[in-house]
Amino acid sequence: MDVVRIGLLGLGNVGSGVWKILNDNSAEIAEKAGARLEIARVLVRDPDKERRVSVPRGLLTTDAESIVNDPSIPIIVETIGCPGQDTELARDYMLCALSAGKHVITANKEVLARHGRELRGAVKSGGGLYYEGAVAGGIPVVKVFKEALAGNKVLSLMGIINGTTNYILTQMSQEGADFQQVLSMAQSLGYAEQDPSSDVDGHDAAYKLALLASIAFGHDVQVEDVFHEGISQIQLEDLRYAAELGYTVKLLAIARRGGPSGGSTADGSNTADGGISGNAGSVNSAGSVRSAGASRGGDANSVELRVHPTMIPRSHPLASVSGAFNAVFIRGDAVGDLMLYGMGAGMMPTGSAVVADCIDAAHNLLRGVSPPREVRSNHVHVKSVHGIESRYYVRVLVVDRPGVMAAIASEFGRAQVSIESLIQKGRGQDPVSVVFVTHSAREQSMRDALRQIESLDVVHSIASVIRVEAE
């Protein structure tokens, strides 16, 4: 049987999973691949470090070039990248390997989201770029979009694609613990990094959404295109109100095709800077949005891309996704609605996805072919966050006296935001919480309303603003 040699860059969590699966399941994998897959060399920082898996000392090296430039190693698996760390190094290694005509496999969503176009452009005949493990861990979502749904026009996707935030929100809802308490618990269990900002601020989900939207819509989406907010301002009181209203709160990644573009901001710029803050309804920086050559008006190439805490009905399939699990809910014009569900991260689930890519790469290598090229257009208009439409949950802290509701309702009306429902509890307190759920409204209209409401002398503060998805 033929032997296909693999160079493994990194032996951390994912790299260890790849090593273990390839060795534990070697016979089954060889049968599926048509060749024995053998890890020939492993890049590590410290060869003497104690690790989760036992790797022969002679396979370890600190010299990446000795792996990347070795002509006897046609498949390179990159697993060195961590959020905010080693991204440029990982990019350089992958570019070098791709330029040499090798097959490169990675689970590094940040590098792909930031440098995907460059990496795809470096693929040579006979080589390929594979990244099933970069989104949703062991869930085969990339292959579903590329292959199983190739005959569909994907209309939208909504996903829980960050396990850390889903675990935190699940625990807050079920255990009644506040954000900081649950975050500390998640860190102690290894679900959250010591610096959790990439997860809890929405960056990780934004990287993944950029990748998924690029594949699903056939447009080259950059991470800067994705408006994002995190979960750190979500309060227990809001989770209780959500339950009372028949909703649950998730950090959702949302991508939709078509519709009016939303055009420009109030000052005429085309930007996604700023979102409704979780605690004040104010403007926060969240990165710019490109027009990519499209017109200001709505067209078939218009898309919206956003990551933020979202209330969804308890009847929605995503509402039941708990703990560190991920799920992606997809709507296609032919297939209708479908959902993919499973572990979104971890040593073995992500390692499983990487190994599946290794088998695909071995197939293509033995046949002397490259994987199908990803055809993407740059002609896409990403809607400004100011132009998107959503329903909204708003919790306002007010003085408990007559006329307060009328004053707030009046400002909503002036901004053309209509109220669907209202909850007031704790009469006689100061301040008292009043909760509004609106009908669908433009983001800019909502901001205008909140700005005026916050200036009312009967309003202490706008405590929370959370977008609501009705379907």
Residue from 209, 206, 229, 205 nearest 219 by CA:
209
Adjacent-strand bridge partners of 2:
none
Adjacent-strand bridge partners of 228:
307
Residue with tokens 């991204």: 87
Compute the C-alpha angle 307/313/318, nearest 5°.
60
Classify the phi-psi angles of 338: left when phi > 0, otherwise alpha if psi is within -120 to 50, otherwise beta.
Answer: beta
How large is the greatest C-alpha to C-alpha distance in the chain, in angstroms?
Answer: 84
For residues 357 and 187, what is the distance between their CA atoms, to the nearest angstrom?
Answer: 30
Tell me how crowded residue 348 is: count the other CB atoms within 10 A of its CB: 16
DSSP 242-283: HHHTTEEEEEEEEEEE-S------TTS---------TTT---
SS percent in the chain: helix, strand, coil, step 5: 35, 25, 40
Determine contact, residues 214/154, Cβ cutoff 8 Å: no
For residues 379 and 387, what is the distance between their CA atoms, to the nearest angstrom?
Answer: 19
DSSP strand pairing (389-398 vs 459-468): antiparallel
Catalytic annotation present for 32: no
Q: Say which of 208, 250, 383, 425 is annotated catalytic.
A: 208
- The CA distances from residue 129 to 4, 132, 205, in Å, are 17, 10, 21
Residues annotated as part of the active site: 208
